Amino acid sequence: MNPNLTAGHVPPADTIQLRIADAASLASVQPLWNALYMHQTAHGMVVSIPANGFALWHDGLRPLLGRFVTVWIAEAEGRPVGFLCGRERVLPGYFGGGSVGFISDVFVSEAHRGCGIGRRLMAAAKDSYRAKNIKRLELQVVAGNPDARRLYLELGWRDELIQMVQQIE
């Protein structure tokens, strides 16, 4: 075991590497994915995540990697500490058509927050979509997550639609 990975050790931000997940490495984000959806639930996301939620996410996305889906992993000393999933979508013709880069999942482990990893992940996705001539980016953020909203506003995002939900008994 790497002795630098003992509890409490946070590697310096400039040693964090971003890499694009392949079919073999996608599974490594499982603990981060689970922590993201626990965080989303704690902040008001109503939808309930099944026990095999990560397996369904992983198995659904893996065949699309490198085509319509890109997952960036932030690694500290070879260990995943953050990730971002981006998906290409096409707007319906009645909304003008064209491709959209949809940021579906972003997470940085608590010990590594506030060091710029979230910004780097968002910049990597934006650069990648810009290089593909995709002009519109979308994301959804839980209404009760002001910290993430603040970051997105700082990065130039703005509100467009508000998603409302109701559970019917």
Catalog residues that contact ligand COA under the rule CB under 6 A.
Answer: 36, 39, 106-108, 113-119, 141, 145, 147-148, 150-151
User: Residue 48 or residue 133: which is nearer to ligand COA going by CB?
Assistant: 48
Strands 136-139 and 99-108: parallel
Smallest gap from residue 168 Cβ to ligand COA (A):
26
User: Residue 66 or residue 114: which is nearer to ligand COA going by CB?
Assistant: 114
Residue nearest ligand COA, CB atom distance: 118
Task: Cite the DSSP H helix spans in 64-162.
Answer: 117-131, 146-154
Give me 12's structure tokens. Answer: 């310096």
Give, in order, the Cα–Cα distances in Å from 98 to each of 90, 92, 94, 124, 157: 6, 8, 11, 21, 19
User: Residue 41 or residue 145: which is nearer to ligand COA going by CB?
Assistant: 145
Smallest gap from residue 101 Cβ to ligand COA (A):
15
Strands 79-90 and 69-76: antiparallel
User: Residue 38 or residue 93: which is nearer to ligand COA going by CB?
Assistant: 38
Angle of the 30-42 helix axis to the 53-61 helix axis, nearest 10? 120
Smallest gap from residue 145 Cβ to ligand COA (A):
5
Smallest gap from residue 8 Cβ to ligand COA (A):
17
3-state secondary structure of 81: strand
